[in-house]
Structure 1
Amino acid sequence: MPLHEERAPRQKTLEVSDLLAPRLARTILTLALISYLGVTVLNLVGEHFDTWVFLFALLCLGLIFVLQLRHSAAHAAAAPPWQTAATLGAQALLTYLPIVLFHAQWGAMAGFLAGSLLLLLPARAAWPAYGVVGLSMLIPPTLDGLSVVETIYLCQSTLLTGLVVYGLSRLATLVRVLHDTRGELAGSAVANERLRFARDLHDLLGYSLSAITLKSELIHRLIPTHPRRAMEEISEVLTVSRQSLADVRAVSSGLRSMSLEQELGSAQSLLEAADLEVRVEARIGLLREQVDTVLAAVLREAITNLLRHSQAGFCSIEAVQEAGQVRLCVVNDGAHPSYRDVSPHSGSGLGNLQERLRSAHGKLTAEHGPGDTFRLVAEVPACPVRGVADPGAEVFPRGSAA
Structure 2
Amino acid sequence: MLAPRLARSVLLATLAGYSLVTAVNILGTRASPVETGLGFLALLVMFGLQLVHSRPQARQSSYGWRVTTLGAQAVCCFLPLALFHLAWGAMSGFLAGSVLLLLPGRTAWPLYVAIGLSLFGYAALVADRGLFDSVYALETTLVTGLVVFGLSSLTGLVTRLHAQRADLARLAVADERLRFSRDLHDLLGYNLSAITLKTELVRRLVPEMPGPARAETDSILALSRQSLADVRKVATGYRDMSLREEATATRSMLEAAGIEVVTAIDTGALPPEIDTVLATVLREGVTNALRHSHVHQCTIRCWEEEGLITLSIANDGVELAGRSPDDADPTPLQAAVDEPGGTGLGNLTHRLGRVGGSLTTELSDDGWFQMTARAPLSGRPDTVDLNRKENAQK
TM-score normalised by length of structure 1? 0.88
1:72 aligns with 2:54: yes
Q: 2:358 aligns with which of 354, 363, 367?
A: 363
1:148 aligns with 2:148: no
- Return closer, same or farther for 1:369/1:184 CA change in 2, 3 Å cut-off: same
Contact kept, 8 Å, 2:313 with 2:370, in 1: the verdict is: yes
- Return closer, same or farther for 1:90/1:346 CA change in 2, 3 Å cut-off: closer
Q: Which residue of 1 aligns with 2:269?
A: 286
Q: Which residue of 2 aligns with 1:225?
A: 208
Q: Which residue of 2 aligns with 1:339?
A: 329
Q: Which residue of 1 aligns with 2:387?
A: none
Taking the aligned partners of 2:345 and 2:34, their CA distance within structure 1 comes to 80
Q: Deviations over 1:279-304 (max 9, x none)?
A: 11112212111111111111110011
Q: 1:374 aligns with which of 341, 364, 369?
A: 369
1:322 aligns with 2:305: yes
Taking the aligned partners of 2:105 and 2:341, their CA distance within structure 1 comes to 57
- Return closer, same or farther for 1:26/1:319 CA change in 2, 3 Å cut-off: same
Taking the aligned partners of 1:45 and 1:346, their CA distance within structure 2 comes to 77
Q: Deviations over 1:112-135 (max 9, x none)?
A: 111111111111111111111112
Structure 2 counterpart of 1:345, one-letter code:
P
Taking the aligned partners of 2:56 and 2:367, their CA distance within structure 1 comes to 62
Q: Deviations over 1:47-80 (max 9, x none)?
A: 2111111110110111111111111111111111
Contact kept, 8 Å, 2:356 with 2:381, in 1: the verdict is: no
1:107 aligns with 2:89: yes
1:60 aligns with 2:42: yes
SS in 2 for 1:138: helix
1:256 aligns with 2:230: no
- How far residue 344 of structure 1 moved from its aligned partner, in angstroms, is 5.2
SS in 1 for 2:262: strand
Q: Which residue of 1 aligns with 2:290?
A: 307
1:32 aligns with 2:32: no
Runs of 4+ off more than 3 Å: 340-344
Q: Which residue of 1 aligns with 2:142?
A: 159
SS in 2 for 1:278: strand
SS in 2 for 1:137: helix
Q: Which runs of 5+ in 2 are unaligned?
A: 320-324, 383-394
- How far residue 275 of structure 1 moved from its aligned partner, in angstroms, is 1.1
1:235 aligns with 2:230: no
Q: Counterparts of 1:62-141 in structure 2 under 5 Å?
A: 62-141=44-123
Q: Which residue of 2 aligns with 1:14?
A: none
Taking the aligned partners of 1:329 and 1:126, their CA distance within structure 2 comes to 64
Taking the aligned partners of 2:12 and 2:209, their CA distance within structure 1 comes to 86
SS in 1 for 2:366: helix
Q: Which runs of 5+ in 1 are unaligned?
A: 1-18, 388-402
Taking the aligned partners of 2:277 and 2:16, their CA distance within structure 1 comes to 60
Taking the aligned partners of 1:284 and 1:168, their CA distance within structure 2 comes to 61
SS in 1 for 2:37: helix
Q: Counterparts of 1:148-187 in structure 2 under 5 Å?
A: 148-187=131-170
Q: Which residue of 2 aligns with 1:216?
A: 199
TM-score normalised by length of structure 2? 0.90
Q: Deviations over 1:305-338 (max 9, x none)?
A: 1112111111111111211211111111112232
The percent of aligned pairs where both chains have the same amino acid is 47
Q: Which residue of 1 aligns with 2:385?
A: none
Taking the aligned partners of 2:341 and 2:158, their CA distance within structure 1 comes to 46
Q: Which residue of 2 aligns with 1:247?
A: 230
Q: Which residue of 1 aligns with 2:392?
A: none
